Structures are given as C-alpha cells and as structure tokens.
C-alpha cells in the first residue's frame, strides 16, 4: 500500500531537487507562478468602478476567462443585479457584504461561492463598505433596474478596464498581471 501522508513529509528548510520528467516543457510553456502586491498600488492601481467603488486588478487568464481582483465598495452601497455564467470565489478582506437574495452576511475571512445561473444583488451596509478578494470566471451579465441587459463582463472587459485607466494616467502596463 502506498504511504499515506499525515503531515508534510519534510520540514527541512532547504530546496529539494524534485524529479519531474517534463521540467523543460514547463520552463518553455508555463506562464509561471508569481507574486502580486495587493496592499499597495505598486503592481496595480485602484481603477474606479462608478463613483463609489474601485477594482484592483490582480490577474487575467484569457485561456479560461478567469480574472482575479479586489472589489472595494467604499461605503454603504449596491452593486446592482447581475447574472453569473461562471463560478466566483471570493474572500471578504474588510467590512461586510450581503445579497438581497440570500439570508447571510459575509464578514472578514469568510468565503463566498457563487455559481453559474445565479443572479443576485450585492449590498454593503457597513460604514466602511467592503473589500472582496476574488477569483472569478466570466461571463457576468449586468442588468439595469428595469431588467434590461446592459453588458457582459468577462476577462476582456476587466483587462480593458485596467489598460484604459493605465493609458489615461500614464501608468505602465504590468505584464505580471497576464497569465
Ligand atoms: Fe455576483
């Protein structure tokens, strides 16, 4: 029977040369892991999302229509009803948030999962609003208050949101954000 691991098998503070048959292919084709600073604006600026919210873009993966960012709603406010066609994974960093459609309120450290086919309306009643870190899969369809479809948000929308702001403010595009 194979060894059943109960804990990390080594705690040695040393790099181990792990055998892997396809190392050269990884080096040739993998976008590579990376660190993106999310506490400052060094790697990515806050880009306004309306008058009362902003998005800090952290990653764009065009192969899977995935994007990562921090959504900051700066005070009590609403992100209007939208319909998901992909899966959303978010962690509350600060403040709190709830949805008109659900009976829970998310607080710092908590995990929010959203699944394809759900439409919902995000509300923060916290005096400081909410900061949400997310790995998100598009598309997301946004509707106005009359249930009129307005636009699809996906990795391309997010990328354009970031790049347009950078262009307008003379900020260099950070290639680290592109997987
Ligand atoms: Fe959502």
The answer to whether residue 14 sits within a structural domain is no
1-29 pLDDT tens trace: 688 999 999 999 999 999 999 999 999 99
Q: Whole domain around residue 39: which residue ranges?
A: 34-177
CATH value at residue 167: 2.60.120.10
Q: What is the largest CA-CA distance in the chain?
A: 61
Taking the CA atoms of residue 162, residue 163, residue 166 and residue 170 in that order, the dihedral angle to the nearest 10 degrees is: 180
Nearest-angstrom CA–CA distance, 138 and 136: 7
156 in a domain, yes or no? Answer: yes
Ligand 1 centroid, distance to 18 Cα (angstroms): 40
Q: 118 in a domain, yes or no?
A: yes
Q: Is a pLDDT exceeding 90 seen at residue 128?
A: yes
Percentage helix, strand, coil, to 5, in the chain? 15, 40, 45
| 1 C-alpha to ligand 1 centroid (Å) | 45
Q: What is residue 156's three-state secondary structure? A: helix
**Which pLDDT value is given to residue 2?**
80
Q: Is residue 23 part of a domain?
A: no
How do residues 97-108 score in pLDDT, each as one tens digit? 999 999 999 999
Task: Give the count of domains, the chain.
Answer: 1
């Amino acid at each position: 029977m194979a060894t059943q691991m109960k804990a990390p098998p080594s705690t040695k503070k040393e790099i181990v040369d792990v055998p892997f048959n396809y190392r050269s292919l990884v080096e040739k084709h993998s976008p590579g892991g990376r660190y993106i600073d999310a506490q400052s604006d060094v790697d990515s600026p806050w880009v306004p999302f309306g008058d009362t919210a902003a998005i800090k873009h952290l990653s764009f993966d065009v192969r899977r229509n995935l994007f990562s960012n921090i959504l900051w709603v700066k005070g009590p406010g609403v992100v209007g009803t939208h319909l998901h066609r992909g899966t959303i994974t978010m962690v509350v960093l600060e403040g709190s948030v709830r949805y008109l459609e659900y009976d829970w309120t998310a607080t710092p450290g908590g995990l929010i999962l959203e699944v394809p086919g759900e439409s919902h309306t995000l509300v923060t009643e916290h005096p400081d609003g909410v900061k949400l870190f997310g790995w998100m899969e598009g598309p997301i369809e946004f509707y106005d208050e009359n249930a009129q479809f307005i636009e699809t948000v996906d990795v391309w929308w997010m990328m354009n949101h970031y790049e347009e702001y950078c262009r307008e403010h003379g900020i260099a595009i950070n290639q680290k954000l592109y997987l």
